[in-house]
């Protein structure tokens, strides 16, 4: 887990960068120091710049980057590679490369294996990689730049193409020096989508010039030849006719093997633990590998929003040590500017706040943590996925009758019993479901935005077109796998953990686990006659996690946003809205009215107010520069010294 920055000039024989350009590149790299405080390396060549911030996890003494491959022979040094992430099957790939190509290696880490795999197999190596990654590989023989991102988008990669050349980095802030950092560059379509989804959907960013390489995509670029991007992997859930017991065993075997591989490191490894079955399963399987496992959880000083007691009970049953973190309103006010700055683009998911503090505590004890992201999208864990079944009856009515019932719902008073049921039941799935989070409706956005933009369907319509042959539940999961998962869940996981130089690994988002989930029929995810979710996964965990946990409803670090907005955080946000210079983009008076209604108890506007407030905070930090967050040099100074002893794999 590291931070990379790359520049490839568009001009042949551009020469070594002048001192000013070199200093700007090094300064850009320093904005990502938190991603890799263990080592910094910058290399300049003829029209090239490669920078790397390393968080040393495997082969800590030797496997520095950039990597040059091959290390010897007639093609020595043909490739220069920088790589952020982990390849969990690198030892198997290394053996394959030696057997098939007599490949030689100068180190014992996964970075050189990745370089060798690309050297010998080219893009065909990508489906063979089991892990999380974003990498850039430059071919000195052809002058071609190659880049790729892991199938689910666990690791980020930002791309900027200008007349000067191609810039890439692990965080967008490292590219602002070269992209024209001004308010005029703000992408209003991206802002409009943020107001709908609570995050900026990939590959967009709020900066018009900077884009993200999408999950499961590869990129090639040559000076004068332009850029080409292709998808090499598309996660798809196609229900098959499978035997339940075989499906349960396949899930258990795949996840156990994934956790075992994710535990491999030469530094201390721990786990996150909340109240649900996902993190509990990770903890239970990780303990099989590391009996003295250390787990971490977080909660708030408001007991109604704390999972610590439940997590402690689970930890006791599993026999693991648990360190809790309690978060106060003062903590949130103090750290929120830094949290938003780390995100590059605002993400209005309040759960990233406890994740930030949880990662900070964990980083004082371990360098790697395992976490449960991805389970709900793969196995059908969100309650909203049950909606198609609850609406099945009304969905079978003739089209004319459905139109009449929908018209009736529009004249029923807001909040009247049955209104929402009629409206949802007579609305096609592609118009009804925008993703796991939906903040402002199109009508509400028309009141809030001072600009026009493309509709939210620009993000989701092609996803529904690609799933026209599956049921509505599989379509909803597909939408979330391509939007919510990379745009919210994985973005906050990467940024909040990396803020403290902590590597977060996600065993559910493994190729083998995905394969075990991809063919599950809907009845094995969401059983009829029940309100339960991800049944197949829960059955697979029978005998692994305590029964009291196996059927527990997911809470996922609940955050007291609605309470905060009525207290001192609400006061702070009111002042933020008052002083914001984003009024040319949003009607902040409308936002203030939403806040006033919430504080008066007239409506629960917490999610809407939080979404606007996080954008205004981002705008103050990034555009206005009226708020300058405190940036600690690194959190790793807090860690105790530890030996470089490998954990059992």
Q: Are residues 295 and 406 in the same domain?
A: no
- Residue-wise pLDDT tens digits, 364-382: 999 999 999 999 999 999 9
Q: Are 511 and 411 found together in one domain?
A: no
Please tell me the total count of domains within the chain: 3
CB 79 within 8 A of CB 144: no
Q: Which pLDDT does position 530 carry in this prediction?
A: 77
Q: Mean per-residue pLDDT for 207-236?
A: 95
Within-domain flag for 226: yes
Burial class of residue 197, CB neighbours in 10 A (0-12, 13-18, 19+): buried
Domain co-membership, 226 together with 300: no
What would you report as the CA-atom Rg of the chain, rounded to the nearest whole angstrom? 25
| pLDDT of 278 above 90 | yes
Residue appearing with tokens 């790359």:
6
- With a cut of 60, say whether residue 649 has pLDDT above it: no
By annotation, the residues acting in catalysis are 2
pLDDT per residue over 27-60, tens digit each?
A: 999 999 999 999 999 999 989 999 999 998 887 7
Q: In Å, how far from its chain's centre is CA 474?
A: 21
- Give the integer Cα–Cα distance in Å for 146 and 298: 40
Residue 631 lies in a domain: no
Contact 463, 443 (CB under 8 A): no
Taking all residues of the chain, what is their mean pLDDT, rounded to a whole number? 91
- Within 10 Å of residue 176's Cβ, how many Cβ atoms? 21
Question: Looking at the predicted structure, is the pLDDT value of residue 181 above 60?
Answer: no
Give mean pLDDT, residues 483-504: 97
Residues 161, 292 share a domain: no
The percentage of the chain sitting over the pLDDT mark of 70, rounded to a whole number, equals 93
Q: Residue 76 above 70 pLDDT?
A: yes
371 is in an annotated binding site: yes
Same domain, 162 and 226: yes
Helix (H, G, I), strand (E, B) or coil at 313: helix
The domain that holds 271 is classified in CATH as: 3.40.50.620
Check residue 641 and give its pLDDT.
37
Q: Is 59 annotated for ligand binding?
A: no
* CATH number of the domain within which 222 lies: 3.60.20.10
For the chain, give the longest Cα–Cα distance: 78
Examine the domain organization and report whether 215 and 281 are in the same domain. no
pLDDT value at residue 639: 41
Model confidence at 636, pLDDT cuts 50, 70, 90, reads very low
Contact 434, 197 (CB under 8 A): yes
The verdict on 225 and 177 lying in the same domain is: yes
The answer to whether 49 and 42 are in contact (CB under 8 A) is yes
What is the mean pLDDT of the segment spanning 325-354?
Answer: 96
Predicted pLDDT of residue 331: 95
CA–CA distance, 536 with 380 (Å, rounded to integer): 9
Does the pLDDT at position 643 exceed 60?
A: no
**Using CA atoms, how far apart are residues 512 and 443, in angstroms rounded to an integer?**
43
Please name which of 215, 247, 210, 251 lies closest in space to residue 233, comparing C-alpha atoms. 215
Domain identity same for 118 and 214: yes
Within a domain: 620: no
Q: Tell whether 405 is covered by a domain.
A: yes
Q: Which residues, 6+ apart, have CB-to-CB distance to 254 below 8 Å?
A: 510, 512, 513, 515, 516
Q: Is the pLDDT of residue 245 over 50?
A: yes
**Contacts for 545 with CB less than 8 Å, ≥ 6 apart:** 277, 280, 281, 284, 314, 318
Report if residue 369 sits inside a domain.
yes
- pLDDT of 428 reads 86
Average pLDDT (458-474) is 94
Residue 638: what pLDDT?
40
pTM: 0.94
372 is in an annotated binding site: yes
Of 123 and 529, the structure prediction assigns the larger pLDDT to 123
Torsion of CA 485, 488, 493, 494, to 10 degrees: 90
Residue in 447, 437, 415 with CA at minimum distance from that of residue 592: 447
Q: How far apart are CA 349 and CA 481, in angstroms?
A: 17
Cα 382 from Cα 296, distance rounded (Å): 24
Domain boundary residue among 508, 528, 554?
A: 554
- Tell how far CA 168 is from the center of its chain: 18
Average pLDDT over residues 262-268: 94
Token digits of residue 403: 């139109």
pLDDT at 41: 94
- Give domain status of residue 204, yes or no: no
- 156-170 pLDDT per residue, tens: 999 999 999 999 999
Q: Indicate if the pLDDT at residue 355 is higher than 70.
A: yes
Average pLDDT in the 62-84 region? Answer: 91
User: To which H or E segment does residue 326 belong?
Assistant: strand 321-327
177 vs 476 pLDDT, higher one: 476
> Structural domain of residue 318, as residue ranges?
244-327+351-381+483-554
The per-residue pLDDT for 414 is 67
The predicted structure's pLDDT at residue 557: 65
Same domain for 374 and 492, yes or no, is yes
Q: Are residues 258 and 372 in the same domain?
A: yes
Among 165-169, 179-183, 641-645, the minimum mean pLDDT is found in: 641-645
Q: Are residues 58 and 164 in the same domain?
A: yes
User: Quick one: 14 and 147 in the same domain?
Assistant: yes
Residue 231: how many CB atoms within 10 A of its CB? 11
Whole-number pLDDT of residue 184: 61
């Amino acid at each position: 887990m590291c931070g990379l920055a790359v520049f490839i000039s568009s001009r042949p024989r551009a020469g070594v960068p002048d001192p000013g350009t070199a200093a700007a590149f090094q300064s850009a790299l320093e904005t990502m120091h938190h991603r890799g405080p263990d080592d910094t390396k910058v290399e300049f060549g003829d029209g090239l710049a490669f920078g790397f911030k390393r968080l040393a996890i495997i082969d800590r003494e030797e496997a520095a980057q950039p990597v040059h491959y091959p290390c010897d022979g007639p093609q020595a040094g043909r490739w220069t590679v920088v790589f952020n992430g982990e390849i969990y099957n690198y030892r198997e790939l290394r053996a394959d490369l030696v057997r098939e190509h007599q490949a030689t290696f100068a180190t014992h880490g996964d970075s050189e294996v990745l370089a060798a795999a690309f050297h010998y197999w080219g893009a065909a190596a990508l489906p063979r990689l089991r892990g999380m990654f974003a990498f850039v590989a430059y071919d000195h023989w052809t002058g071609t730049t190659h880049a790729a991102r892991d199938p689910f988008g666990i690791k980020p990669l930002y791309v900027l193409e200008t007349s000067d050349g191609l810039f890439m980095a692990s965080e967008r802030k490292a590219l602002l020096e070269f992209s024209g950092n001004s308010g005029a560059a703000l992408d209003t379509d991206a802002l409009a989508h943020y107001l709908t989804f609570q995050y900026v959907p990939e590959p967009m960013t709020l900066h018009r010039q900077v884009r993200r390489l999408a999950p499961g995509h590869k990129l090639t670029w040559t000076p004068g030849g332009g850029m080409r991007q292709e998808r090499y992997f598309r996660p798809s859930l196609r229900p098959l006719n499978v035997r339940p017991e075989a499906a349960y065993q396949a899930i258990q075997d795949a996840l156990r093997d994934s956790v075992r591989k994710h535990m491999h490191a030469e530094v201390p490894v721990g786990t996150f633990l909340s109240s649900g079955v996902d993190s509990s399963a990770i903890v239970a399987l990780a303990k099989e590998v590391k009996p003295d496992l250390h787990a971490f959880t977080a909660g708030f000083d408001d007991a109604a929003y704390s999972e610590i007691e439940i997590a402690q009970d689970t930890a006791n049953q599993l026999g693991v040590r648990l360190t809790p973190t309690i978060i106060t309103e003062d903590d949130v006010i103090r750290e929120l500017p830094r949290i938003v700055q780390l995100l590059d683009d605002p993400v209005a998911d309040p759960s990233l706040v406890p994740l930030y503090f949880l990662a900070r505590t964990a980083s004082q004890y371990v360098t790697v943590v395992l976490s449960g992201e991805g389970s709900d999208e793969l196995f059908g864990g969100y309650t909203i996925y049950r909606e198609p079944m609850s609406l099945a009856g009304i969905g079978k009515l003739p089209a004319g009758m459905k139109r009449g019932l929908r018209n009736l719902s529009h004249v029923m008073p807001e909040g009247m019993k049955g209104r929402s049921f009629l409206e949802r039941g007579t609305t096609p799935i592609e118009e009804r479901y925008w993703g796991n989070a939906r903040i402002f409706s199109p009508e509400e956005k028309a009141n809030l935005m001072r600009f026009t933009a493309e509709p939210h369907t620009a993000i989701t319509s092609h996803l529904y077109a690609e799933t026209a042959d599956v049921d509505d539940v599989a379509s909803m999961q597909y939408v979330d796998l391509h939007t919510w998962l990379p745009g919210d869940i994985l973005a906050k996981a990467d940024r909040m953990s990396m803020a403290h130089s902590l590597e977060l690994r996600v065993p559910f988002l493994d190729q083998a686990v995905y394969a075990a989930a991809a063919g599950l029929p809907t009845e094995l995810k969401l059983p009829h006659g029940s309100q339960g979710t991800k049944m197949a996964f829960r059955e697979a965990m029978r005998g692994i996690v305590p029964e009291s946990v196996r059927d527990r409803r997911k809470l996922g670090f609940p955050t007291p946003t609605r309470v905060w907005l009525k207290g001192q955080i609400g006061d702070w946000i009111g002042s933020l809205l008052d002083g914001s210079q984003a009024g040319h983009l949003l009607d902040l008076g409308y936002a203030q009215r939403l806040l006033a209604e919430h504080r008066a108890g007239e409506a629960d506007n917490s999610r809407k107010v939080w979404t606007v407030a996080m954008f205004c905070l981002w705008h103050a930090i990034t555009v206005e520069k009226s708020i300058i967050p405190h940036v600690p040099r690194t959190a790793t100074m807090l860690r105790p010294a530890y030996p470089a002893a490998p954990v059992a794999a």
